[in-house]
């Protein structure tokens, strides 16, 4: 009877261990791959990095890590993951976001009142950087970026003419910096308990140079139903 109990306990331990490993991975392997990813990134992009944390992606059975680039602070956070056919990372896109935010965010903060959030959020189209060494500046790549400005009030709580004037000042500064590959969107406060306000201001990159006065902003007010 003891041998039977021992077998049952062994099976339970094996199955339990397998279950835990399936969801958490192997700690020693997670750490080793984190170091491997760090060495790969530093060689590929000629940068110095710090590992914020390593992780195991149980959904895909892969290991990865989040990194900071030395000298750029914690705002430039990116990840790398070891997949079946190599290593995948987000350094290029996150670097471009960091550069764009560094250029535009101080301008937005200076001119736009009633701010909730403001940041580069995604590339609307374009390709990832597939080379090695220093990545070109976001102004010099083929991608179009999206910069989203969110207000902390609804349209009926603010003077839209003031918003147009403030956004015009932002566009003027963007023009002075020769930023030509960024779409700019301004949206009102979003209340999760109510339907999305369909009105927003959306200025595509191709129209940035056409804005000469605050009255031009009204042409880019969109109402999506």
The rounded distance, in Å, linking the Cα atoms of 121 and 103 is 14
Cα dihedral 88, 62, 99, 40, rounded to 10, equals -60
Decide if 14 is inside a domain.
no
Question: Does residue 119 sit in the same domain as residue 131?
Answer: yes
Q: Say what the pLDDT of residue 124 is.
A: 55
Given the structure tokens 């603010």, which residue do they identify?
158
Q: Say what the pLDDT of residue 64 is.
A: 93
Decide if 8 is inside a domain.
no
Question: Does residue 127 sit in the same domain as residue 193?
Answer: yes
Instruction: Print pLDDT tens along the chain (225 aa).
Output: 555 454 544 544 444 444 444 444 567 788 999 999 999 999 999 999 999 999 998 677 899 999 999 988 777 899 999 988 789 999 999 999 999 999 999 999 999 999 999 999 876 555 566 667 789 999 998 789 999 999 999 998 999 999 999 999 999 999 999 999 999 999 998 877 777 778 999 999 999 999 999 999 999 999 976
Residue 218: domain span: 93-223
The tally of domains found in the chain comes to: 2
Model pTM?
0.81
Decide if 182 is inside a domain.
yes
Decide if 37 is inside a domain.
yes
- How many Cα atoms are found within 13 Å in the side-chain-facing hemisphere of 20? 8
Given the structure tokens 């760090």, which residue do they identify?
38
Q: Tell which residue, 164, 170, 174, has the closest CA to residue 218.
A: 164
Question: Does residue 73 sit in the same domain as residue 181?
Answer: no
Q: Say what the pLDDT of residue 129 is.
A: 67
Asked if 175 and 116 touch (Cβ cutoff 8 Å), the reply is no
Decide if 120 is inside a domain.
yes
């Amino acid at each position: 009877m003891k041998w039977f109990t021992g077998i049952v306990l062994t099976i339970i331990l094996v199955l339990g261990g397998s279950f835990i490993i399936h969801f958490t991975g192997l700690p020693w392997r997670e750490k080793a791959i984190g170091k491997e990813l760090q060495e790969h990134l530093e060689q590929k992009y000629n940068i110095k990095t710090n590992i914020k944390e390593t992780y195991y992606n149980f959904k895909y059975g892969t290991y990865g890590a989040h990194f900071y680039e030395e000298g750029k602070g914690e705002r430039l956070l990116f990840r790398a993951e070891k997949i079946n056919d190599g290593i995948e990372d987000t350094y290029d896109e996150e670097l471009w976001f960091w550069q764009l935010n560094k250029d535009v965010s101080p301008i937005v903060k200076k001119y736009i009142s009633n701010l909730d959030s403001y940041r580069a959020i995604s590339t609307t189209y374009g390709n990832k950087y597939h080379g090695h060494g220093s990545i070109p500046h976001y102004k010099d790549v083929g991608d179009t970026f999206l910069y989203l400005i969110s207000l902390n009030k609804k349209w009926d709580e603010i003077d839209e003419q003031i918003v147009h004037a403030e956004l015009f000042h932002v566009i003027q500064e963007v023009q002075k910096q020769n930023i030509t590959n960024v779409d700019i969107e301004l949206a009102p406060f979003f209340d999760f308990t109510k339907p999305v306000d369909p009105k927003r201001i959306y200025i595509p990159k191709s129209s940035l140079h056409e804005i000469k006065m605050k009255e031009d902003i009204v042409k880019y007010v969109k109402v999506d139903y």
